[in-house]
Structure formats: structure tokens, C-alpha cells
Chains A and B, each alone.
Chain A
Amino acid sequence: MSLIVKKVAQLITGFIFLYGIYIIVHGHLTPGGGFAGGAIVAGAYILQTLAFGRDTLLLKKKETNTSLSESISILIALMLAGAGFFIGTKVFFNNYLPTGKIGDLVSAGTIPLYNIFIGIEVAAALLTIFLALLIYKEEIEE
């Protein structure tokens, strides 16, 4: 890519990433949440990869890491939900943490935690899909 694209991508990526994190952690207060924020975070990575490009070997390594973190974050979210079997009213997907005051950042019990792990999961999944398609395309050209 040309110098302009590289420079702009360099400048803008950090802000996109931060904005994604903002959307994720405010998921229980404002519109958005895990999926929307995760998609934005993945967008930051994708922009970086598109602008600079990396050789295929490095991308392959990245893909195994993203798919691993995807599985792990889903497992953690499932464990959080399964913990509801043992705490409080003993129901699956039970909101067992104190709910706090409406409008605070730390409130709404377990919902922000789900949002965070879903955000990680979505970002990792989108990145895995993107990298899988990209690596495959480069394999064709070989």
C-alpha cells in the first residue's frame, strides 16, 4: 500500500480500537455491546493487516492464536453462566452479582462480564474468518 494509506492507518487504528473497547464496556448502559464492539475491534486489526500486509507464515501463526482465544472466551462465558447453578436462586444464566445503581459503569451484575467475553470472542472470530480467507487466497497465488 502507498505511504498515505499506511500513515493514516497507523494514526487511526488506535482510536478505532479504543472506541471498540468503549462500546464493549458500556454495553449495559448505551446501545451496542459485545457484538458491535467486538466487530469494531476486529476492524482495527483488519485495517492494520490490509494496510501493511504481513507474510503468510506470520498470519498463519496469528490465526491459530485467534481461534484459540475464541474458544477460551466462549468457555469462560459458559462457565459464568453455569456458575448460576450454584449461586443465588440456582438457575442457569442467573444474574448472581449485585446489580448496583442504574447508570453506573459497574452495575447490572454479570451482564458487563458477558459483554466483555463476547466482545473478545467476536473480535477473535471475525479476525479468524478474515485471516482464513486471506491465507487461503495467498495459497492460490503460490
Chain B
Amino acid sequence: MIVYILCFVLFLVGLYGVITRRNLVKIVISLSIMEFSIFIFLALIGYIDGGIAPIITGQDINPTYVDPLPQAMVLTAIVIGLATTAMLMAIAIRLYRKYGTFDIREIKNLKG
């Protein structure tokens, strides 16, 4: 049980980073930490003690397979995470180009 709670703690660490950091790139990194805490959680859900890779060949006697569905979910979520991180970095680089800084305290055109 403690492992699952540690995943949630990691999630909160990422959230803390998003809230407190002032650098655009550090915010992106914190978001990645949040994301990966969920991936670890998903991988843990599917893990079964002593289980083997679920490739069913019909030769194993009394096989215990790990749950393949969370692994598929993690892979798909990693692809999505790649897209979001690339998008965030592209916008961050363009923001640097426009404002000349990564500091969010100086990027505040929009208010109200």
C-alpha cells in the first residue's frame, strides 16, 4: 500500500513544482514529474508478484501473467505525454523569443 501512496506523493511534488517555480522550463519539468507519477501508478496496478510477460504460447504450465492492459495504457499515455511536452516546449521557446526571458513574473500581458 505504501508504494501507491508514494506515487500520489510524487504527484503532489510535481504539483508543488508547477505552483512554486517561476521558470517556464522548470514548470514543464514539474508537469513531466506529475505525469510520470501516474505512469508508475498504472504500471504498479498491473504488476502481479511472480508474473511473466503475457505472451500466451500455450507451452507454460500454470502460468501467472501480469495484467497487460495497464501496460498498453502506459504506452499510449507516454505517447500523449510526448506530444504535450513537445507542445509546451515549443511554446516556451517562442515565448523566450518574444519576451527575452523564461521568468513568468515578467510574462504578464494578460490581466483581468
What is A's interface to B at a CB cutoff of 8 Å?
Answer: 29-31, 35, 102-103, 122, 126, 129, 132-133, 136-137, 140
Contact = CB atoms under 8 A, between A and B. Distances in A.
Most B C-beta atoms less than 10 A away, residue of A29, A30, A129, A133: A129
A140 B97 contact: yes
Interface stretch (B10-18, B35-43, B50-58, B103-111): B50-58
Contacts of B79: 35, 122
Given A132-B90, A133-B89, A31 B53 contact: yes
Contact of A103 (B57, B78, B86, B97): B57
List of 3 A-B pairs having minimum Cβ-Cβ separation, nearest first: A129-B86, A102-B57, A140-B97
B27 to A, nearest CB: 17
A133 B86 CA distance: 9
B63 to A, nearest CB: 14
Nearest to B76: A35
Nearest to A139: B97
B55 A29 contact: yes
B45 interface: no
Given A29-B55, A102-B58, A133 B93 contact: yes
Contacts of B82: 126
A133 B90 contact: yes
**Most chain A CB within a 10 A radius of its CB, from B57, B79, B89, B94:** B79
Interface of A is mostly: helix
Nearest to A30: B55
B9 interface: no
Interface in B37-89: 53, 55-58, 75, 78-79, 82, 86, 89
B46 to A, nearest CB: 13
B58 A137 contact: no
A139 to B, nearest CB: 8
B10 to A, nearest CB: 24
A126 B94 CA distance: 19
